[in-house]
């Protein structure tokens, strides 16, 4: 069984604590969210043409039901297992059914979100969604990627504080001095890109690690000759530079100063940049599907993947856990085991040995941890998708 009401209340509580920049555009009532969670859960037990039924439902406002990606239904359909079974096979893997609360607070399916990359009125990056991840498994997320809570095998795991903790993680990496500081703000922009790659690693569900060296650094010392060395054109991070430098792809370059009536060109270009960024993060995250870490430097350059090191020159003698999101330096001394197993320990010893250095580690069962060191032997970690409870339902 599933405690859909308890999960709904917990999710609303987490969302209420999020910074406004990351909070969903539409926050449903407890009752509406409870109803959708329960129906998605029971529909996940069903099969469609022999395959497990997978569904995703986003909560939206009525005025967001526009745009080329939106396929509106002639009349709303009430939320139920039968409705989900009938309609969910119609949405693309990156699409969804769109739910709107009526005046009585009852959620109804009013449209289908398709896969076509339109930009106006159909950008789900800040929409709260409920999706089935397999029989008896439900995930609640923002935009389909920022996980808020998971229910799997009778256990629900709320992932809390992600907005503030992610910011703290970005600050932690910046404090290590790994990234360019010119132009102003570039260190923060590169840190955000690194966290996006970490989120993509977490999303594929197999875990993995990203080890970060300072700008211009190469793999030497105890890392020399390890893993699969790669050479990648600097163009791999161009989709991110487009956003950093307030460019919007070739469309804007070919249409300088496009005025009123041509705003769609810039919006289309920005959407194209988001799609390219997503392709980059998914491509790099896939490298962690084999054993070992990806090694990257702050320039940023990808140096190698599949890196396993069991003999670091300077293992950590002091490990701390950040307790103040506004100041990651404020931290308690802890045993390294509080962060996780061997993958986390390797990241800690990497940071210690190659200080200044950083690492982003995704656990195979969910959650991200960021480590940084600016002094050999001492490492600070911050859990940015911390599992707050592990309550048996």
Write out pLDDT tens, residues 15-68: 887 766 678 889 999 999 999 999 999 988 887 767 777 889 999 998 888 776
pTM value? 0.66
Tell me the two tokens of residue 5. 């009401």
Owner of token pair 């197993």: 341
Q: Is residue 276 part of a domain?
A: no
Q: Are residues 67 and 148 in the same domain?
A: yes
Range of the domain at 294: 163-236+282-387
DSSP letter string, 230-256 = ----GGGGHHHHHHHTT--HHHHHHST
The torsion angle over the Cα atoms of residues 173, 178, 179 and 182, rounded to 10 degrees, is: 110
Q: Are residues 77 and 225 in the same domain?
A: no
Chain mean pLDDT for the chain: 84
For 167-232, the three-class secondary structure string (H helix, E strand, C coil) is HHHHHHHHHCCCCCCCCCCHHHHHHHHHHHHHHHHHHCCCCEEEEEECCCCCCCHHHCCCCEECCC
Q: What is the pLDDT of residue 171?
A: 87
pLDDT higher than threshold 80 for residue 251: no
Q: Are residues 196 and 152 in the same domain?
A: no
Distances (CA, A) of 263 to 32, 63, 269, 276: 36, 20, 10, 20
Smallest CA-to-CA distance from 111 within 72, 150, 63 is with 72
Tell me the two tokens of residue 161. 């504080």
CATH value at residue 352: 3.40.1700.10
Q: Which band of pLDDT confidence, cut at 50, 70 and 90, is reported for residue 186?
A: very high
pLDDT 10s digits, 319-354: 998 876 557 667 889 998 889 899 999 999 999 999
Max Cα-Cα span within the chain: 66
Q: Are residues 169 and 61 in the same domain?
A: no
At which of 159, 179, 195 does a domain end?
Answer: 159
Please compute Rg for the chain using Cα positions: 22
Q: Are residues 12 and 84 in the same domain?
A: yes
Q: Is residue 50 part of a domain?
A: yes
Count: domains in the chain: 2
Q: Are residues 60 and 148 in the same domain?
A: yes
Q: What is the pLDDT of residue 165?
A: 65
Tell me the two tokens of residue 321. 């856990």
Look at residue 351 and give its three-state secondary structure: helix
Residue 84 Ramachandran class (φ > 0 left, ψ -120 to 50 alpha, else beta): alpha
Q: Are residues 303 and 194 in the same domain?
A: yes
Q: Helix H segments across the chain?
A: 4-17, 30-44, 81-87, 162-175, 186-203, 238-244, 249-254, 263-286, 342-353
Average pLDDT over residues 149-176: 74
Q: Which residue has the higher pLDDT, 124 or 362?
A: 362
Q: Is residue 243 part of a domain?
A: no
Q: What is the pLDDT of residue 194?
A: 95
Cα–Cα distance between 144 and 37 in angstroms, integer? 15
Tell me the two tokens of residue 58. 């986003």
Q: Is residue 274 part of a domain?
A: no
pLDDT 10s digits, 95-131: 899 999 998 889 999 999 887 554 444 567 789 999 9
Q: Are residues 323 and 366 in the same domain?
A: yes
pLDDT 10s digits, 194-222: 999 998 898 777 889 999 999 999 999 99
DSSP summary character for residue 260: T
Q: Are residues 297 and 360 in the same domain?
A: yes
Cα–Cα distance between 150 and 297 in angstroms, integer? 33
294, 360 Cβ separation under 8 angstroms: no
Smallest CA-to-CA distance from 69 within 11, 3, 12, 124 is with 124
At which of 141, 159, 177 does a domain end?
Answer: 159
At which of 109, 134, 159 does a domain end?
Answer: 159
Q: Characterize 282-318 residue by residue with b for buried, 16 or more Cβ atoms within 10 angstroms of its Cβ, and e for exposed.
A: eebbebbeeebbbbbbbbbbbbbbbbebeebebbbee
Q: What is the pLDDT of residue 116?
A: 55
The β-bridge relationship of strands 357-362 and 368-375 is antiparallel
């Amino acid at each position: 069984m599933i405690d859909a009401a308890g999960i709904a209340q917990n999710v609303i509580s987490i969302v209420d604590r999020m910074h406004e920049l990351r909070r969903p555009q539409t926050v449903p009532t407890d009752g509406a969210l409870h109803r959708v969670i329960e129906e998605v859960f029971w529909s996940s037990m069903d099969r469609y043409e022999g395959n497990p039924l997978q569904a995703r439902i986003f909560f939206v406002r009525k005025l967001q039901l526009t745009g080329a990606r939106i396929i509106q239904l002639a009349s709303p359909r009430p939320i139920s297992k039968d409705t989900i079974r009938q309609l969910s096979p119609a949405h693309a893997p990156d699409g969804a059914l769109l739910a709107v609360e009526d005046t009585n607070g009852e959620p109804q399916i009013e449209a289908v979100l398709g896969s076509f990359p339109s930009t106006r009125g159909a950008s789900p990056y800040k929409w709260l969604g409920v999706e089935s991840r397999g029989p008896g498994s439900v995930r609640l997320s923002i935009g389909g990627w920022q996980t808020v809570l998971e229910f799997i095998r009778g256990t629900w795991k709320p992932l809390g504080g992600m907005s503030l903790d992610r910011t703290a993680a970005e600050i932690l990496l910046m404090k290590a001095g790994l990234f360019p500081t010119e132009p102003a703000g570039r260190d923060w922009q590169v840190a955000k890109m690194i966290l996006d790659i970490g989120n993509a690693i977490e999303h594929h569900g197999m875990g993995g690690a990203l080890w970060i060296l300072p700008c211009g650094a190469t793999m030497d010392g105890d890392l020399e000759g390890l893993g699969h060395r790669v050479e990648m054109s600097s163009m791999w991070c161009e989709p991110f530079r487009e956003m950093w430098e307030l460019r919007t792809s070739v469309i804007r370059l070919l249409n300088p100063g496009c005025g009123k009536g041509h705003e769609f060109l810039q919006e289309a270009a920005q959407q194209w940049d988001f799609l390219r960024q997503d392709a980059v993060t998914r491509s790099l995250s896939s490298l962690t599907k084999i054993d070992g870490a990806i090694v990257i430097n702050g320039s940023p350059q990808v140096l190698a993947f599949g890196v396993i090191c069991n003999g670091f020159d300077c293992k950590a003698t002091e490990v701390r856990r950040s307790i103040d999101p506004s100041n990651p330096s404020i931290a308690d001394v802890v045993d390294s085991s509080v962060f996780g197993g061997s993958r986390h320990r390797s990241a800690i010893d990497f940071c210690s040995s190659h200080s200044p250095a950083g690492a982003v580690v995704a656990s195979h069962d969910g959650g991200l941890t960021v480590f940084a060191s600016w002094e050999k032997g001492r490492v600070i970690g911050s859990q940015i998708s911390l599992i707050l409870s592990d309550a048996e339902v």
